[in-house]
Structure 1
């Protein structure tokens, strides 16, 4: 298996588990992962948020960790990467307002490169206009945006542990889906893990 170079798009209050866990999983599988955030440089950090499902009508939110930025957003070119990861949390709601972010996502999509997105990350995909005709899932509150942008909504199961693959797009509803989401993304990447 050839190692892939993967870009992860984050911002302040990205969901902690949805950035940290995929970052570590992908590196453990032998891939190189760069993390970027508009307005931040290599060596800067973003603050994360921990979202949990504790029986309330929506998720709860707590302050998470600091997550390291490994490359300058302004110097990023989709051509230099094999795939894109878009975590959820609070960051997507404002990152989707950045035209450079949307342009970058469109470039990955136009080049038919694998994209893994989870939870509220699909807000960015929706704003970029790349969900038209694609089956996907997301955190349930994002369903209206997925459908308005032409995506075909696939309901999450009650444990939020399913993932959906449509071509090279791999989506999941929330961090409890990591095992299936990352397994399916690794398959799309062509990654094999010897056991």
Structure 2
């Protein structure tokens, strides 16, 4: 069983956050949710309405939080997931988030990013030379961070698995679970 850390905060997209948590638990793994504080985070629902140029945002469910970013010991985890929504825009500036995310990238451990999730490793300079999916309007941001934007539902680059958003979650989840389970096989 792997222990996977999920970094999130208020305004994270509901499906981007809850789907991976439930899928990891369904697969027999432990999903541990971390946020700025230990209060439940307020998720949002993003949808694509006819006649709108951008997605709409509505209040979503609450997601219980297990521990605060400052209390995370990344050595205790086998993988990392960064859901999308607006939360990555805010959490990417946290020194504790930087410490945690660098740990996983430095060690080649599984990292899953969903939708806006790549904003976190991009802000830390960790996407340089990588291939990644992201919410399509982030293409320029990803490319300015030195990555190659790939418009696909399940982009695997080493131990990093990314997707464009919640419609891609079934394919992303299958790819992330395969990378995670492969990383659990003793060398």
TM-score by length of 1: 0.90
Q: Distance in 2 between matches of 1:138 and 1:54?
A: 20
The offset of 1:54, in angstroms, is: 2.1
Q: Distance in 1 between matches of 2:118 and 2:61?
A: 23
For 1:1-195, what aligned pairs fall within 5 Å after superposition?
A: 3-38=1-36, 40-41=37-38, 44-55=39-50, 56-156=52-152, 162-190=153-181
Q: Distance in 1 between matches of 2:148 and 2:74?
A: 26
Unaligned runs of 5+ in 1: 157-161
The offset of 1:97, in angstroms, is: 1.5
Asked if 2 retains the 8 angstrom alpha-carbon contact of 1:103 and 1:128, the reply is no
Q: Distance in 1 between matches of 2:167 and 2:112?
A: 15
Unaligned runs of 5+ in 2: 183-187
Q: Distance in 1 between matches of 2:95 and 2:53?
A: 33
Q: Secondary structure at the match of 1:51?
A: strand
Aligned residues: 181
Farther off after superposition, 53-62 or 22-31? 53-62
Moved over 4 A (4+): none
Asked if 1 retains the 8 angstrom alpha-carbon contact of 2:113 and 2:162, the reply is yes
TM-score by length of 2: 0.93
Farther off after superposition, 140-149 or 8-17? 140-149
When the two chains are superposed, the root-mean-square deviation of aligned CA atoms in Å is 1.1
